[in-house]
Structure 1
Amino acid sequence: MAAVIPELPPIVNNSFKVKAVTYHSYKTPLTTKEVEIPVTAGSIVKPTEVLLQIKATSINPIDCIFKGMSYGFLGPKDKIIGGDFSGIVVKAGAETKFKPGDKIFGDVLSVTRRGSSSEYIIFEPKVAQVCELIPEGMTFEQAASLPIVSGTAYQCLYSHRGSLEGSNVLVLGSGTSVGTYAVQFAKHYFKAAKVVATCSASSAEKSKKAGADVVVDYTKGKSVKVNQILEFVKEHGKFDIVVDAVRDEDLIPYFSHVLKPVSENGIFSQVEGSYTIDYSHVHLYQFVPSWKKFVSVVKYKLGLYDYFIDTVLLMNTKGYGDAVRTLWANRELSIPIDSVYDAYSDAQVALERVASGKAKGKVVLKF
């Protein structure tokens, strides 16, 4: 079946107008506005760019953070919310690997550039954090749910310098979106022997379905959590990698007991972010590294410590697209979606849902 190519938007004086979900600063709610997008004279896109018709986007905590810390003077007056997207290629530059009609997903998150939540976007795939073909049979809503959270999870595991096949992996915060994908990638793609996951009782079943061999209920307290992890290590050996999706640093004092040293490729891979899951009111202090982490990092850099803490921010990581397509083809990729909202009428409600920390999966905007 021939690919369906969306119509070009009307172009006047080397620009076109789109409806977009915008805000000015942390004080203003999300509002649908008409925004003008400039194009390249004569060709619409540069050789390295694509023009994409957006079908769905998803809201992430980082979107709440960017908006919550925006005072209006950085970036365009009307900032477009979002980074994650899925859509159909309308026009593709000669230097891209895409063609009109391709269905793709990715992330274009930026502090200063306009985001993804508009009818059309123009961007450069090579500089996007994620840009991949949507696997056959995956919906636009599912695809838009993937980029930041699954890309970050994959990157955390990819940071391990050796093979993870037959390894022990610990995922802290498996109830989060990043944590859920970390469990799936670790077990089904990187072929870990044992995956241990910490989460609340309400997320235990989801974590087991994702591939966790052992689930630890962190709500029972620090001592119970640490002791259960130590008991696992006694029976199965130390962890090759710890993926920390929630800035849970209780294990740092126990590294010598639970984590393999750098000489054996051991690594503590921590997702950059806030100590809180409530993003209704964003404050800078929520993102400051803890003293415990700071001391550990300094000691490692001085050669006085055998354990490496890697801080992960999403970037284009080799093999990510292949991992997604492989798990999807094997029916080993679960994509939890909390809710789907109309982009133009309910975007503010969607943002508040994410900011509350109560979403059980991704919150999607449908275009």
Structure 2
Amino acid sequence: MSNTELPIKNNKLTVKAITYSWYYNPLALKEIEIPVVPNTIVKPTELLVKVHATSINPVDCIFKGFSYGFINPKNKIIGGDFSGVVVKAGPETNFKVGDKIYGDVLTFTGRGSSSEYILFEPSKAIICEKIPEGIKFEEAASLPIVSGTAYQCLKSYGGDLTGKNVLVLGAGTSVGTYSVQLAKKYFGAKNVVATCSSKSAEKTKKNGADIVVDYTKNSKINELLEFVKVNGKFDIVVDTVRDESVFDYFNALLKPVSENGILTQVKGSYTIDYSNLKLSQFLPSLKKLTNSINFKLGRSPYFVTDILLESNKGYGDAINKLWTEGKLNISMDSIKNAYTDYQEAYDRVASGKASGKVVMKFVQ
């Protein structure tokens, strides 16, 4: 794409973007000006991407829910996940014009992904990868934060998971969906036990879970204890929903840190409703604080770590391998028109009613 084809005037790129300013205001589609480098448009380390699709995540709802107008910029672009095509590539980026890419550019600066074009440095993006052949733009945009978080949870084990026991709490969530798949199909876990509701049981089994436990039943802990009697303790627990009931049974369920045992807990709210956020929803529980203090004082052999998505080497290779082998199930709830249905997309995620990812298409 030549410079003359881009909506640039006075070294500023004018784009339509989905924005917000205050927490209580609805989303709005506005024209935003993005400063660019004269002539080259991009710096040597930057990419300019024409966005085809983005997706909404709970973290986007959190950012908006705690947004106050005096925090710059006034018009913040929502979102982090994206997929699109490179239209300008700096020579130091390792990408070229025409590359189909996906990733996550979530930042605290307010320039998110839900825009017709995005300008960013791929080396500073949390995720920036080429789209595996055959994955649609909408599917690619649904992947980064949730599958990246799942990958990070499992990598936190710090060793080979081949032949190990993995417990995924909240396998019906998007992060849980990919945690099950990656644990079984990529990291080679021997046993993947997953908790979810009955409506997610069939999907969870297809994703690779060996045993599915209905968390809504009072027998959940007993079923986990029965598994341990036969198969041994869990090497890693991936908690995607802050289900801390297992804290009371560490001695029976989880291997101690001396045997590489670990519980990874995804940061977030205790509830799945992000439409009316309160700070108390995100504070650590007494159980967690007590465990943390006891572990640091050497009184507890069980390690609990918080997971907030970071750049992880090997993530792109893992997704590409599962996809090319036909083992990746991409979980999507719905696809919306980015120009007209952005508030509907946001509300569906914020309400906790989405089953899979909600994606917004910019290129129709």
Shorter-chain TM-score category? over 0.9
Q: Which residue of 2 aligns with 1:60?
A: 57
- 1:278 aligned onto 2:273: yes
> Does the 8 A contact of 1:6 with 1:53 survive in 2?
no
Deviation at 1:8, TM superposition (A): 4.7
- 1:1-367 matched pairs, under 5 angstroms: 8-221=5-218, 224-367=219-362
State the SS of the aligned residue for 2:9.
coil
In structure 1, C-alpha distance between the alignment counterparts of 2:3 and 2:221, rounded to whole Å? 54
> Does the 8 A contact of 2:147 with 2:175 survive in 1?
yes
Say if 1:159 and 1:28 are closer, same or farther in 2 by CA, change over 3 A: same
Amino acid at match of 1:238: K
CA deviation digits over 1:123-160, x for unaligned, max 9?
11111111100000000000000000000000000000
In structure 2, C-alpha distance between the alignment counterparts of 1:127 and 1:45, rounded to whole Å? 15
State the SS of the aligned residue for 1:333.
coil
Amino acid at match of 2:69: G
CA deviation digits over 1:52-82, x for unaligned, max 9?
0000000001111111111112121111110
| TM-score, normalization by structure 2 | 0.98
Amino acid at match of 1:340: I
Amino acid at match of 1:365: M
In structure 1, C-alpha distance between the alignment counterparts of 2:163 and 2:188, rounded to whole Å? 6
> Does the 8 A contact of 1:57 with 1:366 survive in 2?
yes
Say if 1:113 and 1:23 are closer, same or farther in 2 by CA, change over 3 A: closer
In structure 1, C-alpha distance between the alignment counterparts of 2:121 and 2:295, rounded to whole Å? 37
| TM-score, normalization by structure 1 | 0.97
> Does the 8 A contact of 1:166 with 1:194 survive in 2?
yes
Say if 1:100 and 1:7 are closer, same or farther in 2 by CA, change over 3 A: farther
Deviation at 1:7, TM superposition (A): 7.8
CA deviation digits over 1:318-348, x for unaligned, max 9?
1100000000001110011100000010100
Deviation at 1:175, TM superposition (A): 0.2
In structure 2, C-alpha distance between the alignment counterparts of 1:125 and 1:301, rounded to whole Å? 37
> Does the 8 A contact of 2:17 with 2:77 survive in 1?
yes
Q: Cα RMSD over matched residues?
A: 1.2
**Structure 2 gaps, min length 5:** none
**Structure 1 gaps, min length 5:** none
In structure 2, C-alpha distance between the alignment counterparts of 1:11 and 1:349, rounded to whole Å? 30
| Aligned residue pairs, count | 362
Deviation at 1:349, TM superposition (A): 0.5
Amino acid at match of 1:135: P
Deviation at 1:205, TM superposition (A): 0.4
Deviation at 1:28, TM superposition (A): 1.2
Identity percentage of aligned residues:
65
Deviation at 1:6, TM superposition (A): 10
> Does the 8 A contact of 1:5 with 1:89 survive in 2?
no
Amino acid at match of 2:302: Y
In structure 1, C-alpha distance between the alignment counterparts of 2:2 and 2:320, rounded to whole Å? 23
Amino acid at match of 2:248: P
State the SS of the aligned residue for 1:32.
strand
Deviation at 1:200, TM superposition (A): 0.2
In structure 2, C-alpha distance between the alignment counterparts of 1:263 and 1:255, rounded to whole Å? 14
In structure 2, C-alpha distance between the alignment counterparts of 1:263 and 1:47, rounded to whole Å? 46
> Does the 8 A contact of 1:74 with 1:112 survive in 2?
no
